[in-house]
Amino acid sequence: MRALITGATGYVGSRLVPALLDAGFDVLAGARDPGKLAAFDTSPGGSPPEGTSPGSSTQESTASSGLALSRIATSVELDVMDADSCARALSGHGQVDVAYYLVHGLGEGDFAETDLVGARTFASAAAAAGVRRIVYLGGLVPPGQELSEHLESRRVVGETLREFGRGVDLVWLRAAIVLGAGSTSFELIRHLVDRLPVIPVPVWMEHRVQPIAVDDVVHYLRHSAEADVPAGAYDIGGPDALPYRDLVATYARVSGRRRFLLPVRGVSTALAARVIGWVVPLPSPLVADLVDSLSNTMVVTEETIRRFVPSPPGGVTGVREALRRCATPAGVAVVGPGASADALRLNDTDPEWAG
Ligand SMILES: NC(=O)c1ccc[n+]([C@@H]2O[C@H](COP(=O)([O-])OP(=O)(O)OC[C@H]3O[C@@H](n4cnc5c(N)ncnc54)[C@H](OP(=O)(O)O)[C@@H]3O)[C@@H](O)[C@H]2O)c1
């Protein structure tokens, strides 16, 4: 089966590439600047095989970890805002069976409009190219709540992929925050806790969230390519739902830091985002867009995915265990996502503000 991954340089996409290769897929790794992919290990299970250049071509190869004979991914230029670029990526490398949509413009100005146009352009091209299925990972859509701009945009992207991908099955996975070192949401928590001995806790941090570890996300994404999973929208989540406040406290505990959480009243998400933007090294617009979503309760409201996808080996990862694995120091730089036995560890290709 041939899969095209949009956002292959991103947090989730970079971890999905080696997982699909391991599962025997032909993988096209899409990026606006495919040159960037050379820094990633786009082979299964480890560093690139000797004599091959990662991310340059598809070749038969034996992974250094001794995994079965497998392939490395093909780097493909792809800008979802550009119809010609989408058509070339979807048709220029053989028939694409499954296209993973893992793109967003969060933190980049008018992301809602950009995300809408990107989804429309890509879905239309996928329909024209005869793609069988699009698998999209978006945010949860908590019923009966006014959604933050970010969550509303993620919802609109799902609806747009469905509307413009005529004749293409859409499997739409919906998740709250994804846990793993390098994930924007986790890095926000890490930097706050690492830097502040006293952490102000506004009332909206009492809202509950049900995070999911990135290796479990990858598990669900991989299985969503299979025909056993009917087209539709599915919530995915870890086993624990807890207030945002407790998520912060749990990270402080597992990372061995004594922190005092101070309840505060009258602090809006907008004010908090401004202050957090000064404290953490993440780009301020990204922080603002993310913190805005803390006003929503983010827990799964249906679990039909369990009927179609087996649980990950060992079961889904709990919050404490996921945070423990994220908190482990990266140590020697891990070269490429496939080189790490643990997708929750930091990679040297993750953003410079991570870790
Ligand atoms: N991380 C989380 O906590 C979380 C939680 C729930 C759902 N999700 C969903 O998971 C998906 C992936 O998120 P992520 O955290 O992996 O994001 P990320 O690390 O920020 O990656 C975003 C990716 O989008 C690509 N991109 C942006 N504009 C593009 C364009 N015009 N054409 C092609 N590619 C473009 C970027 O590529 P460049 O290298 O070209 O910039 C990058 O690879 C998103 O749909 C998100 O809503 C994530």
CATH code assigned at 320: 3.90.25
For 330, the domain range is 177-211+237-298+315-355
**Is residue 12, in this structure, part of any structural domain at all?**
no
Residue 136: the pLDDT is 98
**Is residue 284, in this structure, part of any structural domain at all?**
yes
pLDDT digits (tens, 9 = 90+) for 306-320: 999 999 989 999 999
**Is residue 346, in this structure, part of any structural domain at all?**
yes
**Is residue 306, in this structure, part of any structural domain at all?**
no
Is pLDDT at 90 greater than 70 in this prediction?
Answer: yes
**Is residue 332, in this structure, part of any structural domain at all?**
yes
Structurally, how many domains does the chain consist of?
A: 1
**What is the best residue among 15, 32, 212, 236 to mutate for testing ligand 1's pocket, by most ligand atoms within 8 Å of CB?**
32
Across the chain, mean pLDDT equals: 88
Per DSSP, what are the bridge partners of residue 105? none
> Does 12 contact ligand 1 (Cβ within 6 A)?
yes
Model confidence band, residue 52 (pLDDT cutoffs 50, 70, 90): very low
**Poorest-pLDDT segment among 4-18, 166-180, 279-293, 340-354:** 340-354
138 Cα to the center of ligand 1, angstroms:
10
Model confidence band, residue 55 (pLDDT cutoffs 50, 70, 90): very low
Stretch 38-58: mean pLDDT: 50
**Is residue 80, in this structure, part of any structural domain at all?**
no
> Does 46 contact ligand 1 (Cβ within 6 A)?
no
The whole-angstrom separation of Cα 10 and Cα 347 is 12
158 Cα to the center of ligand 1, angstroms:
14
Stretch 257-285: mean pLDDT: 93
**Is residue 23, in this structure, part of any structural domain at all?**
no
Residue 57: the pLDDT is 39
> Does 133 contact ligand 1 (Cβ within 6 A)?
no
Residue 196 vs residues 16, 192, 276, 280: alpha-carbon distances, Å: 33, 6, 11, 10
Is pLDDT at 208 greater than 90 in this prediction?
Answer: yes
**Is residue 51, in this structure, part of any structural domain at all?**
no
66 Cα to the center of ligand 1, angstroms:
31
Question: Exposed/middle/buried for 37, CB within 10 Å: 0-12, 13-18, 19+?
Answer: buried
**What is the best residue among 4, 11, 28 to mutate for testing ligand 1's pocket, by most ligand atoms within 8 Å of CB?**
11
